[in-house]
Amino acid sequence: MIIKEIITINNKQFIKHYSDLGVYIQKVNTEELYSAALDSIDSGRVYEETDELIEVEEEKNTNEATIEDYQDALGEFGVEV
């Protein structure tokens, strides 16, 4: 389903369109695809969902400890690894 949200930026209203299924939306009667579209509130633009999934890059959790981190921590307690 296309989700529509009213957003106010610098006292101007805009409408944000996006899919709740994680697919691209397409502006009707065009080839234009968007993961989300932001238009002036009175633009009259209409979007429909596609079948094309939006690819999302997974961020590597840089807070996750590595083997080296564990070895260093054990070394602080006098444990030899």
Span 1-30, pLDDT tens digits? 999 999 998 889 999 999 999 999 999 999
Q: What is the pLDDT of residue 81?
A: 66
Instruction: Please give the Cα distance from 39 to 73 (Å, whole number).
Output: 52
Q: Could you tell me if residue 71 is inside a domain?
A: no
Q: Could you tell me if residue 27 is inside a domain?
A: yes
Q: Could you tell me if residue 75 is inside a domain?
A: no
Q: How many Cα neighbours within 13 Å face the side chain of 75?
A: 7
Q: Could you tell me if residue 31 is inside a domain?
A: yes
Expressed as residue numbers, the domain containing 19 is 1-53
Number of structural domains found in the chain? 1
Q: Could you tell me if residue 63 is inside a domain?
A: no
Q: Could you tell me if residue 66 is inside a domain?
A: no
- Each residue of 23-40: pLDDT tens digit? 999 999 999 999 999 999
- The pTM score is 0.67
Q: Could you tell me if residue 18 is inside a domain?
A: yes
Q: Could you tell me if residue 67 is inside a domain?
A: no
